[in-house]
């Protein structure tokens, strides 16, 4: 298959109340173009799911949103990504506080080799978000509560984070992300490595987190996308094919490629 020439994204890629705006984003890994002219708004306090077959560019695009692709030497990005109207790729932008504002949760839970408490406290410490131990304790407790983990760990905060189960570790990573008071949380297949019960808990958590954060989630599970998101964006060969309300995408998708992918005619 080849890319579609002059493709305009079907559906509703733009929002009035956008937290993040991507405009004409192109991403190259060396000579190879991975993202072709993607423009997309992510609305404030929405959960948007990014779906598509392996290699379609959804994770590459997600990593653009907090400049994680900067860590890849051969990666080159063109276009604009605006966070509250300011271009995050402006040379004046400091990526460290950016990545606190736009946090990320990865596929494989990656707690630091520290205690549960220190995993969550690490970010606030280095960003200077707490002026006292009492404040830090409050941040840790609030973050663990918001991540749905407090009751399970409150009596063992100083035990190793790596000693938790997979699902608990992932919630610890979410708590760590929340602790630095982000505005956006990016999730790259956060449940792929988890069992069904842990997955269900994370999905429920995503719904609760929406109240305070904007969330973009890459997922290979279409049922998960259907359950957790309000809008779904379908990527194909680096192009953004369609963006629509989630229930519409999964019942009456606009583009034939979206239909073919979600009905399992290719992938």
Partner 1 sequence: MEMNFNQHISGQFNADLEAIRNHMMGMGGLVERQVANAIDAICSGDTSSADDIIRREDEVDKMEVAIDQECTQILVRRQPAASDLRMVLAVSRVVRDLERMGDEACKIAIHALEVADKGRSEICQQAIRYMGAEVTKMIAGALDAFARHDVDGAIEVVRNDKLVDNQYAAALRELMTYMMEDPRSISQAINILWILRAIERIGDHARNISEQVIYLVSGEDVRHSSLTEMEEQASKDA
The footprint of partner 1 (CB under 8 A) covers: 1, 222-223, 226, 250-253, 256, 258-260, 262-267
Please state the separation of Cα 89 from the chain's center in Å.
18
Nearest residue (CB) to partner 1, 24 versus 223: 223
For the bound state, the minimum distance from the C-beta of residue 246 to partner 1, rounded and expressed in Å, comes to 11
CB 248 to partner 1: min, Å: 8
Residue (110 or 192) nearer to partner 1, CB: 192
CA distances 241 to 137, 207, 232, Å, are: 45, 26, 11
The alpha carbon of residue 221 and the mean position of all alpha carbons in its chain are separated, in whole angstroms, by: 15
- Residue-wise burial string across 13-50, b where 16 or more C-beta atoms lie within 10 A, e elsewhere: bebeebbbbbeebebeeeeebbbbbbbbbbbbebbbbb
- Smallest gap from residue 245 Cβ to partner 1 (A): 13
Q: Using the minimum distance from each CB to partner 1, give the nearer residue, 78 or 223.
A: 223
Nearer Cβ to partner 1 (119/246): 246
Both tokens assigned to 235: 């990527």
CB contact at 8 A, 242 and 260: no
Rounded least distance, CB 250 to partner 1, Å: 5
Pick the closer one to partner 1 by CB: 100 or 257: 257
Q: How far is the CB of 53 from partner 1 (least distance, A)?
A: 11
Closer residue to partner 1 in complex, CB, 1/134: 1
Q: How far apart are CA 214 and CA 112, in angstroms?
A: 25
Helical axes 166-179 vs 196-209, angle rounded to 10°:
20
CB of 28 to partner 1, least distance (A): 24
| Contact (Cβ atoms closer than 8 angstroms) between residue 173 and residue 108 | no
What's the number of CA atoms in the CB half-sphere (13 Å) around residue 135?
Answer: 8
């Amino acid at each position: 298959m080849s890319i579609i020439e002059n493709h305009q994204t079907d559906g509703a890629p733009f929002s009035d109340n956008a937290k993040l705006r991507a405009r004409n984003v192109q991403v190259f890994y060396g000579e190879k173009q991975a993202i072709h002219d993607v423009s997309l708004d992510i609305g404030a306090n929405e959960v948007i799911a990014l779906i598509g077959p392996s290699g379609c560019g959804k994770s590459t695009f997600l990593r653009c949103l907090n400049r994680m692709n900067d860590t890849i030497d051969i990666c080159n990005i063109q276009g604009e990504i605006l966070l509250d109207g300011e271009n995050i790729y402006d040379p004046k932008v400091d990526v460290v506080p950016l990545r606190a504002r736009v946090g990320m949760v990865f596929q494989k839970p990656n707690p630091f080799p520290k205690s549960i408490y220190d995993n969550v406290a690490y970010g606030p410490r280095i960003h200077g978000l707490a002026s006292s131990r009492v404040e830090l304790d409050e941040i840790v407790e609030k973050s663990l509560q918001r991540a749905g983990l407090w009751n399970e760990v409150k009596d063992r905060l100083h035990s190793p984070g790596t000693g938790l189960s997979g699902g608990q570790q992932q919630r610890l990573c979410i708590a760590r992300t929340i602790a630095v008071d982000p505005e956006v949380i990016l999730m790259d297949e956060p449940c792929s490595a988890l069992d069904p019960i842990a997955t269900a808990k994370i999905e429920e958590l995503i719904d609760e987190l929406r109240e305070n954060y904007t969330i973009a989630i890459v997922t290979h599970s279409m049922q998960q996308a259907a359950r957790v998101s309000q809008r779904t964006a379908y990527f194909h060969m680096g192009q953004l094919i369609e963006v629509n309300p989630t229930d519409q995408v999964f019942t009456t998708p606009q583009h034939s490629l979206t239909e073919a992918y979600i009905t399992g005619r290719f992938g």
